[in-house]
Amino acid sequence: MDFLIRPAVPTEYEPLGTLTAQAYLEDGLLDYGETDPYLAVLKDVSTRAATAEVLVAVDGDHLLGGVTFVPGPGPVADIAQPGETEIRALAIARTARGRGAGEALVRACVDRARATEGCTAVVLSTQSSMHAAHRIYERLGFTRTPDRDWNPVPHLDDLTLLTYELTL
């Protein structure tokens, strides 16, 4: 690897929020583009960092991407139940894709889950169009859990999030 995975520092929160929002926008993952309400959530790394661990992939001083490791149910968890950790907001800058940073960030979350007392699984939600992320999850042993799929915006029938789980 020609990059490092480490916890984000507060001075990286704003740049990571911008990177994450830009990745979602460039990939067409926000139904309302720049006015999508989820854009503010993606940009708000400091709120996630207050109750979860935000990890970054860096190449020297260059930020490649990030992810949020949620240690269990709580304010930033979407689907984690007791005994589960959750992965949120995985994003890699378009210019950094194909270097393995996304997989390395997911592996770092799995390592943290294994070190979390009482943790039996890692869970996550993803959009159906996030094919590159799905390949990472499946390569690392995650399996689909269609019984947990959910819709964060009930009035949008086509916004069902797919769920995956890795049993530890």
Rounded CA separation 88/106 (Å):
10
Distances (CA, A) of 58 to 80, 94, 163: 28, 14, 27
Per-residue tokens: 42:
């993606």
Q: How many residues does the chain have?
A: 168
Fold classification of 4-167 (topology level): Aminopeptidase (3.40.630)
Q: What is the pLDDT of residue 157?
A: 61
Answer yes or no: are the C-beta atoms of 106 and 136 closer than 8 Å.
yes
pLDDT in tens, the chain (168 residues): 699 999 999 999 999 999 999 999 999 998 788 998 899 999 999 999 999 999 999 999 999 999 999 999 999 999 999 999 999 999 999 999 999 999 999 999 999 999 999 999 999 999 999 999 999 999 999 999 999 999 887 666 667 899 999 999
Q: What is the pLDDT of residue 4?
A: 98
CA angle 126, 12, 152 (to 5 degrees): 25
**Boundaries of every domain in the chain:** 4-167
Answer yes or no: are the C-beta atoms of 127 and 43 closer than 8 Å.
no
Answer yes or no: are the C-beta atoms of 122 and 141 closer than 8 Å.
no
Say what the pTM is: 0.95
